[in-house]
Amino acid sequence: MQQKCITAVMFLAPCGILPAAINEPVRLESGLVSGKAGEEPDMRIFKGIPFAAPPAGNLRWRAPQPPPHWDGVRKADEFSAVCMQNSNNPAAKPSEDCLYLNVWTAAQSASEKRPVMVWIYGGGYNTGSASIPNYDGEHLAAKGAVVVTFNYRLGAFGFLGHPELTKEADRRGAANFGMLDAIAVLQWVQKNIAAFGGDPKRVTIFGESAGAGMVAHLMASPQAKGLFERAIGESSAWGISPDTRAKTLADAEQAGVKLAEALGVKSLAELRAQPAEAILKAGRGTGPVVDGWLLPEDPGKVFAEGKQNAVPVLLGSNQDEGTFFLQPTTADKFVAQSKTRYGALADEFLKLYPAGSDEQANASALMDFRDQMAWVMRNWARLDEKTGKAKAYVYYFTHQPPEPEGGRGGRRRGATHVAEVPYVFNNQGNRPWTDVDRHVADLMSSYWVNFAANGDPNGKGLPKWPVFDERKNGTVMVFGDGAEPGSVLSPSQIAFFQKVYDQK
């Protein structure tokens, strides 16, 4: 044992000598598991715990089934395979046998009831995994949370529709298998997390990019009701315009029929008999689908009607989101695309984001991407506060992380999409962090854990984070080289994006 002092998280015990780690093996519904030590002797890590049976063969494109029970003590010391995807990482070995989760805990006993944080990774619903080093949960767990990460089915394995699937499932989750995996994890947490010292009554779901979109869709799903008490979304929600909103089940079915035709098969049974690699090559998934059961309507409509799982939210985006996605453009191309995207609103848009030259067009493209994402997260906060009567806290990440000279493709990306994640998890990794980076990471990870503990990010020693209030132009917490309240969007920008959003 050694002395370890945790700062800035208000619910933790004073600094002192911590006793030994939680007793093992840990008893789960499916059997006993043993973990491994973390960087500190009181930290225990459990990797590769199955939360569902392998969704292969006849279980492909079905709701997750309970994992088989095992005898003896299962060693939970290695990450599982990632779910089927096209990956540039040669170390990642995709497999359909991928429905596993991981737990980090510094609890000393099962009676501690620490807040639980369940992470949902991004990757456009087609790539990603729970074993990415950025998502290591040890430093959040050291601040008092029990951290859970998990794999969910991706692409055509996680979000495929087909008329036969709809009939087989009686519309219950048809085409939303990745979302059903997330719900299965949250149900697993309710049944098992207390054994790791976690409190099943204080569960926070948090995610980035597609993971944040999943968080928003889980808030909109009646099937996830009661499975979490708070939600954190980083840089994604639901679409701002009609053409970017959730696909309908009919759309998903049509896409599934086309995939089957590309493979030369005519039935669901034949599709299930196809090798996983063939499915992967044949097409991508649609992302979450409005199926009338798991997702009764597009999340925007669910929130507007106050039918969401209304819980406190912590939401935000980054200053340089667009540098992750956008390629150089020209003034002519930017104007043409603007007219296509915004129609009758194009002239108003071009006044806010002018394109008098190629240089100005490129700057406007980045600003549009940045501001649109900020508005999307603001809108999520606004609706949850307005119709759900829940507290919302909004952030804006402007800190410039260090990166290799020249950045990606010869340009620096700044506070780009995903840039906040290492700071949230307080994971320096092999990055050349300075004392300022470590300060920002300590602030953000402390706010996130406090929010998971209490539904309020504020705590002793932290700058005051104001509750979001639309009437005050939506004050947000700006994370630059520290943290201070500020504002992001102008009234004219807010009004414009609201017009776009209100289009039918």
Report, as residue numbers or ranges, the catalytic residues.
Answer: 209, 321, 417
**Which residue type occupies 140?**
L
Distance of CA 437 to the CA centre of its chain: 23
DSSP states along 404-456: STT-GGGS---SBTTTTHHHHTT--TTS---HHHHHHHHHHHHHHHHHHHHS-
Closest of 8, 153, 179 to residue 84, by C-alpha: 153
Extract the tokens encoding 330: 């020209």
- How far is the C-alpha of 243 from the C-alpha of 191, rounded, in Å? 39
Residue 31 pairs in a beta bridge with: 28
The strand order across the sheet containing 26-28 reads: 26-28, 31-34, 73-75
C-alpha–C-alpha distance, residues 66 and 296, integer Å: 25
Report how far residue 165's alpha carbon sits from residue 269's, in angstroms, rounded to the nearest whole number: 10
Q: Cα dist. 300→118, 212, 214, 376, 502 in Å?
A: 23, 14, 13, 10, 10
How are beta strands 36-37 and 44-50 bridged, if at all? antiparallel
Residues in the chain: 504
Angle between helices 358-387 and 331-342 (to 10 degrees): 30
CA 142 to chain centre: 21
Which residue type is seen at 259? L
User: What is residue 63's DSSP assignment?
Assistant: P
Please, are residues 114 and 197 in contact by the beta-carbon 8 Å criterion? yes
> What kind and span of H or E run contains 34?
strand 31-34
Give the H or E element holding residue 232: strand 230-234
Classified as helix, coil or strand, 501 is helix
The set of residues, in sequence order, having a beta carbon less than 8 Å from that of 200 and lying 6+ positions away, is 116, 189, 190, 191, 193, 194
CB of 443 within 8 A of CB of 479? Answer: yes
CB neighbourhood size of 210 (10 A)? 23
Give the 3-state DSSP-derived string for 96-115, with helices as H, strands as E and coil as C: CCCCEEEEEECCCCCCCCEE
Three-state SS for 118? strand
Distance (Å, rounded) from C-alpha 83 to C-alpha 81? Answer: 7
Tokens for 130?
Answer: 């729970």
